[in-house]
């Protein structure tokens, strides 16, 4: 355990020291993964599928706010959909417009959640997002950023799955007919509604429990959130007949729990065996305070002792005088 704590302190020290360099690198990597996933799942406009273009855009995001990743990703998506179908582009633009109004009005600083949620769905571990949001964010409204990301994932997934049918719509069909056809594929998605409801409920439960003044609040919140998501997915599978592999869901929930425990280790690692309760008062109130110390280890300080700062070789006479012995004893 001590070794893990030492590693944690070294990692935190490294991140604190080089934060000015690490944040741009992380944003660039996140942007590149996002743009690459858009290219791989859509990719209808070949002129913007160049890896060089994606790398340049990702590197530019290193110097820009994280919300620019959201904006650039939205532009790339609209360009790809325009190449596929004007109706699909129009539906996506309408949904994006509503979501952007909601997002930039209420959640202008939650860009990471909006970007990470679709990626979590793509990598089939969406259950990690309620754990992360509930543990790390003090504002429960932040779940809306997660919802925005989830809506965009299901919208684009529906368009990608039905791309052939959308592209084969004849010119005789009116634009309203095309628009309604694409929109119905999105609105009637019961899986999206059920999944987003599960994520929101789990995130709020995790947020509520981890704020309670109880021992092991974060551990209880992680366990409850993961168990709740699995049970709700099981209920949806049985009642709504949604396509879900429960064995895979269980594995994804375990991965989410592991990530939650890692976050707890770095951000909320407490020693409940040394809990102290303090009482004091002022003119108006009487206070009961519960203090739980954090677990940490002090960085080991290495002491280097320098025996001689002079590079000149010491003579036999000087050595004998320093050792307070007869010079002849050094003859050997």
pLDDT score at 67: 87
What's the structural domain count of the chain? Answer: 1
**3-state SS assignment for residue 146:** helix
Closest CA to 218 of 184, 253, 178, 265: 265
pLDDT score at 13: 79
d(CA 123, CA 288): 46
d(CA 289, CA 261): 26
d(CA 276, CA 165): 66
Q: What is the pTM of this model?
A: 0.77
pLDDT score at 236: 85
Could you list the residue range(s) of the whole structural domain that residue 220 is in? Answer: 85-269
In a domain, 15, yes or no: no
Closest CA to 27 of 70, 73, 69: 69
Q: How many CB atoms lie within 10 A of CB 175?
A: 11
d(CA 44, CA 288): 63
With vertex at residue 196, the alpha carbon angle to CA 190 and CA 198, rounded to the nearest 5 degrees, is: 100
In a domain, 217, yes or no: yes
In a domain, 117, yes or no: yes
In a domain, 18, yes or no: no
Closest CA to 289 of 278, 298, 302, 281: 278
Per-residue burial over 258-272, b if 16 or more Cβ lie within 10 Å, else e, is ebbeebbeeebebee
The answer to whether the beta carbons of residues 110 and 66 sit under 8 Å apart is: no
In a domain, 186, yes or no: yes
d(CA 129, CA 203): 8
d(CA 322, CA 120): 70
Size of the chain, expressed as the number of residues it contains: 332
d(CA 78, CA 225): 35
In a domain, 201, yes or no: yes
User: Of all helices (H) and strands (E), which one includes residue 65?
Assistant: none
Q: Could you tell me the two tokens for 199? A: 């994520």
- Digits of tens for pLDDT over the chain (332 positions)? 677 777 777 887 788 888 888 889 999 999 999 999 999 888 888 888 889 999 999 999 988 888 899 899 999 999 998 888 887 888 888 888 888 888 777 777 788 888 899 999 999 899 999 999 999 888 888 888 889 888 889 888 888 877 777 666 655 555 566 666 666 666 777 888 889 999 999 999 999 998 888 888 889 999 999 999 999 988 888 877 666 678 888 999 999 999 999 888 887 766 666 777 788 788 788 887 777 777 766 555 455 555 555 556 667 677 667 766 766 666 65
d(CA 242, CA 194): 9
Alpha-carbon torsion (18, 23, 25, 26), positive or negative: positive
In a domain, 60, yes or no: no
In a domain, 130, yes or no: yes
pLDDT score at 304: 53
């Amino acid at each position: 355990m001590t070794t893990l704590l030492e590693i944690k302190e070294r990692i935190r020290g490294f991140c604190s020291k080089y934060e000015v360099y690490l944040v741009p690198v992380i944003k660039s990597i996140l942007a590149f993964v996002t743009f690459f996933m858009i290219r791989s799942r859509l990719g209808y406009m070949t002129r913007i599928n160049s890896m060089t273009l994606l790398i340049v855009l990702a590197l530019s995001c290193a110097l820009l706010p994280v919300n620019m990743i959201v904006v650039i990703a939205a532009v790339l998506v609209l360009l790809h959909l325009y190449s596929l179908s004007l109706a699909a582009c129009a539906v996506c633009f309408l949904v994006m417009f509503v979501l952007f109004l909601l997002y930039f009005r209420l959640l202008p600083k939650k860009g990471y959640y909006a970007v990470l949620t679709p990626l979590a769905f793509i990598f089939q571990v969406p259950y990690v997002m309620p754990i992360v949001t509930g543990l790390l964010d003090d504002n429960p409204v932040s779940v809306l950023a997660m919802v925005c990301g989830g809506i965009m994932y299901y919208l684009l997934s529906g368009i990608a799955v039905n791309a052939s049918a959308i592209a084969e719509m004849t010119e005789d069909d009116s634009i309203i007919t095309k628009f309604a056809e694409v929109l119905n594929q999105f609105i009637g998605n019961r899986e999206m509604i059920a999944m987003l409801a599960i994520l929101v409920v789990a995130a709020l439960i995790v947020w509520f429990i981890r704020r309670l003044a109880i021992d092991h609040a974060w551990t209880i919140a992680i366990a409850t959130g993961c168990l709740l998501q699995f049970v709700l997915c099981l209920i949806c599978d049985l009642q709504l007949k949604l396509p879900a592999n429960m064995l895979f869901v269980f594995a994804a929930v375990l991965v989410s729990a592991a990530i939650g425990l890692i976050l707890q280790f770095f951000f909320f690692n407490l020693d409940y065996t040394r809990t102290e309760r303090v009482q004091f008062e002022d003119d108006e109130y009487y206070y009961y305070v519960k203090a739980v110390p954090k677990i940490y280890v002090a960085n080991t300080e290495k002491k280097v002792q320098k025996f001689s700062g002079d590079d000149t070789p010491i003579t036999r006479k000087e050595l004998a005088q320093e050792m307070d012995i007869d010079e002849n004893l050094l003859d050997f």
